[in-house]
Chain A
Amino acid sequence: MAESKVALKRADKEKLVEVCREFNNKPGELINVLHRAQNIFGYLPAEVQEVIASELNVALAKVYGVVTFYSYFTMIPRGKYPISVCTGTACYVRGAEKVLDEFKRLLKLEVGETAADGVFSLNCLRCVGACGLAPVVLVGEKTYGRVSSDQVRKILEEYGYEG
């Protein structure tokens, strides 16, 4: 036997196999399966992609190609408090970029990154449908509206930020 290159908890693997089965193991359902998998694990590590590739009978390179093409998918685990800054048109026009820059500055993170201690991660989103509240920031499930850059520190402090 050739060497195995990945390891995954048995229960996690079974969960994935189940998800693929729900989509009838159809190669054409790759994006939907990836969506579900990311909802379950919060991100799509190599191991997860490997299981999906073999269950759907799709080339692993293709799975990776899809994961890296859509900005929605990520291979980096999200932080305990994932921060998403909306950069849709309305939010952008009303200063989302400054807000985002402030998050970057305080957290010392780039978009798509997770802090080494795993507490915060930073991401951008396209319009979340709350344009009336622009600019909008999400921390986990919680929504903050009309955010200005000088409020960023206060928001972070709610989650234990002490920098």
Chain B
Amino acid sequence: MDFVKLIIDNKQVEVPAGTTIYKAAHQLGIEIPVLCYMNLEHMNIENKPAGCRICVVEVEGRRNLAPSCSTDVVEGMVVRTNTMRVLNARRTVLEFILSDHPKDCLVCPKSGNCELQDLAVKMGVRKIHNEEISQMSSYRVDYSPSIIRDLDKCVMCRRCETMCNDVQTVGALHAVNRGFMSVVAPAFEMDLVKSTCTYCGQCVAVCPTGALAEVDNTPQLIRALSDTKKTVIVQTAPAVRAALGEEFGYPAGTSVTGKMVAALRRLGFDYVFDTDFAADLTIMEEGTELLGRLEKHLKGEPVKLPILTSCCPSWVNFFEQQYPDMLDIPSTARSPQQMFGAIAKTYFADKINVKREDLIVVSIMPCLAKKYECQREEFKTDGNPDVDYSISTRELAHLIKEANMDLRNMPDEDFDNPLGESTGAGVIFGTTGGVIEAAVRTAYEVFTKKKLEKVDFQQLRGMEGIRSASVDIDGFELKIGIAHGLGNARKLLEDIRAGKSEYHAIEIMACPGGCVGGGGQPLHHGHSEILQKRAAALYREDAEKPIRKSHDNPMIIELYEKFLGHPMSEKAHHLLHTHYVDKATVIKTIE
């Protein structure tokens, strides 16, 4: 590899040829401010439209300032990142962007967490010159079940476009129109609900401003909590506990399970339960389905393989839209969120003698697609949804702060029973590779009727976008594929469609990193290493659990004994499984 020497702010640095000035400066510990540029290094995702010019620097011998995010270093280059000229230019550029940006920061959902606001603070903007004569573009606000688009706040960084097109290959959003009128929008500027959007929320996760935000369901939740006639219960997804702490100053990768439970109790929930319980239940159903298909396969009977996991609602939306010819391949098991809701509003409601309508089920999720999922018609009984409100990790953090509480002052408390009991297998559902590892732990013991000595399957872990591994199940080689990010999922699906897939089972999660990188998680602001730390926190929590296999969860055993019968029973089918709908649009012709 060729190396290049250059000088940045009087310091010498040597970097591989082809490195940008921005990255070379980073190596020296000099952080050049950026707006449109985004580098999710650990996931190989880079957005580099070089559009905003916030990152300009002075290069000796060049007349114009250079955008450091997209200018490659040259041998002997002399760069200055903080001269008067540079700082003034950056401020002018920023004022120009701000002159076409609403000034309602105080009531913006991103306030306090907005990269544009941070830049204004950092650059000491006190006045926006020429604001009186500048025009403000305006655009309608678009509401969907999961995401709100308020494009007056769009700065055209096109990060969302990169996520939606390059990473997710959904292609719901693209820059449209030109100049002053340009925005990022679906085709024909239709509403997001009519587009191919899967509600993965990855666009929201990277938007530097308040242009893209989650639908805020906390007002309804607060109303429910203050209604004395209602019993309000809550379930928390595995990935939430590994990220919530970040909002309260804990270093990334700190598990705050006990404090989160305490905070929820103080918010007024009558029972604090765990989605991990439902994750164990998912394994019972999905694992049994997998074994059923495998047994047929081994007997030589025709059967659909590989089986695909179905616990990610954004992924479900994706295949319903884009692979309607393959609706019979995914498992029919509902997501843990919905399994929890179905059991809560039947088994648990009966147990505590509360009518379905008087029981409010709330979920805390790292995910925005879950907001859409809990509104799907098939998850309602007589119009009453199994899960009433789905709140993101970010919304929970707001709620705790709004209630004048600090997670740091909370004691550690335990979940309530029975729906709060879970195993290590349920915990790792929150990271890529975790669902299939949990399934293997159970499938192994059920299939071989032997005890699994080594519960950790290192070969299934990691952050690579597509992974494959095989697991020896008593002489049978179970071939497993794993994909996270919908673009990666697409590659595995294309192989299946072409008849080239050799896998028996495939785990898919729509978000890069799995749920730990969900669209509802605390914003990582480009620090993609945070996702790995969250995943590590989940594996640690798993290792510390006394029970680590879903089928050993005593409350799951009791649930089957007292209520469901056995996995895939008729009752289980009715409550815990679903069907998929062809959502592709076809181009009809007229004669």
Contacts and interface: CB of A to CB of B under 8 A. Distances in A.
Interface stretch (A53-61, A97-105, A144-152, A155-163): A53-61
A13 B589 contact: yes
Interface string B186-226: 11110000011000000000000000000000000000000
B55 interface: no
A61 B174 contact: yes
Interface of B (DSSP majority class): loop
Interface in A57-81: 58-65, 68-69, 71
B170, B324, B585 pick with most chain A CB within 10 angstroms: B585
Contact of A46 (B176, B177, B188, B589): B188
A69 B582 contact: no
A61 B170 CA distance: 10
Contacts of B587: 4, 6, 8, 13, 47, 50-51, 54
Contacts of A10: 589-591
Contact of A68 (B177, B586, B588, B589): B177
B174 A62 contact: yes
A47 B586 CA distance: 11
Nearest to B589: A10
Contact of A59 (B174, B177, B584): B174
A161 to B, nearest CB: 31
A5 B188 CA distance: 13
A27 to B, nearest CB: 11
Contacts of B584: 2
Contacts of B186: 61
B173 interface: yes
Contacts, number: 81
B175 A65 contact: yes
B585 A62 contact: no
Interface string B177-189: 1100000011111
Contacts of A58: 171
Nearest to A69: B178
A65 B177 CA distance: 6
B506 interface: no
Interface string A1-27: 111111111100100000000000000
Nearest to B179: A69
A118 B172 CA distance: 33
B11 interface: no
B187 A61 contact: yes
B172 A7 contact: no
A59 B588 contact: no
A87 interface: no
B585 A59 contact: no
A61 B582 contact: no
A85 B344 CA distance: 69
Nearest to A13: B589
A34 B175 CA distance: 17
Given A9-B589, A58-B171, A59-B170, 14 more contacts: A3-B585, A4-B586, A5-B585, A9-B590, A46-B187, A47-B587, A59-B172, A59-B187, A61-B172, A61-B195, A65-B174, A68-B178, A69-B176, A71-B178
Interface of B: 165, 170-178, 185-189, 195-196, 324, 581-591
Which are the 3 A-B pairs with shortest beta-carbon distances? A59-B171, A61-B174, A4-B588
